[in-house]
Amino acid sequence: MDRDTFLNLPTPDLAALVRQSGPKVCVFPINGTRRWYLLEHAPDASEKDYLAAYLAKIEPNHVDLYRLLFDHGIEYLLTPAFGPDLAERGPEYVAIVAHGLARLGTEKLFLDFFEDYNVRVRFYGDYRPYFENSPHAAVLDVFDDLTARTAHHDRFRLFFGLFGHDATETIAQLSVDHYRQHGSVPDKRTLIERYYGEYVPPVDMFIGFDTFSTFDMPLIAMGAEDLYFTINPSPYLTDQQLRDILFDHLYSRRIEPDYSSMEPDEWDLMREFYRVNMGKTLGVGGQQARGNYWFPLPQVTLPPTFNEPKP
């Protein structure tokens, strides 16, 4: 299928193509939310409750993003949400995060979405030891209640990653427990089921933002997942942008050239492309002097005739 046709398909038809080869698993950490909020909804200087104002804007945005991905054929969505790097920002920030996470199981906006879209919600990672020993232990009951409340939903899966950065010790303990119970070493599928609460297929794509790095997808990252990084913070993800990603994932990256049948002029064009891009590296960025933030630098140069069709 050509790109223009794909990008203009009705959403249900596009989603059917995405699902055609089996359930799709997407890891999408929603990052840059504070930047998005301050840029798009800068609070008034007299704003008394910044947190309430922030949540009032970011929560509908999160639901819109979940809906966008599910509507376009993604069936398993993993969204790493909290880990030790964020916890290092201090107790005030942790309190804000814990409050926001608890709202997943209490706010009508989320509960209605999970019900209307038939979404099963689960939480993964080493979050229990962290929250059990914190002033926010009550959030664990919210997680458990929401997991039980949505357990019968079977259309979509939404996994929130909390301290899912290093599963080594957890996997070791799960293996020991399994051996004690069954007298055998667990296979990979069993470990995935124990870790995530159910079986999750290998990751198909990771959609990140900011510096090029992947994280928080233990056991299901096989090295074959396609990696994408948005220029804007995650809350800005658009319908067209997601369609671009999905077309690339389904078609562009699946091409396997037959070098034995390439014509001399095709080799010449390949050589020209590599020569004009010699020394350039995707992922290299700069630091904005006044804002002091990292941004990716443009790298690729296309030869003048690169995208012309073959005569």
Question: What's domain 3-254's superfamily in CATH?
Answer: Decaprenyl diphosphate synthase-like (3.40.1180.10)
Quickly state the pLDDT bin for 288 (edges 50, 70, 90). Answer: confident
- 40-49 in b/e form (b: 16+ CB < 10 A) is eeeeeeeeee
| Edge-to-edge strand list for the sheet holding 156-162 | 119-124, 156-162, 74-82, 24-27, 205-209, 226-230
Residue 305: pLDDT over 90:
no
> 10 Å Cβ neighbour count for 182?
10
- Please state the pTM of the whole predicted model: 0.93
Using the CB atoms, write b or e for 132-157: b if 16+ within 10 Å: eebebeebbebbeebeeebeebeebb
From the list 123, 132, 200, the residue with the least C-alpha distance to 161 is 123
Higher pLDDT, 289 or 154: 154
Ordered by start, the domain boundaries in the chain are: 3-254, 264-311
The more confident residue out of 31 and 83 is: 31
In whole angstroms, give the CA distance from residue 202 to residue 69: 17
Residue 208 has pLDDT above 90, yes or no: yes
168-175 long-range contacts (CB < 8 A, ≥24 apart) are 169/126, 170/126, 170/195, 171/195, 171/218, 171/219
Which of the pair, 118 or 34, is modelled with greater confidence? 118
- Does the structure show a pLDDT above 90 at 289? no
- Tens digit of pLDDT for each residue in 142-155? 999 999 999 999 99
The helix (run of H) or strand (run of E) holding residue 226 is: strand 226-230
Residue percentage of the chain with pLDDT more than 70: 98
Whether the Cβ atoms of residue 159 and residue 196 lie closer than 8 Å to each other: yes
Arithmetic mean of pLDDT over the chain: 93
Tens digits of per-residue pLDDT, 13-47?
Answer: 999 999 998 999 999 999 999 999 999 987 654 55
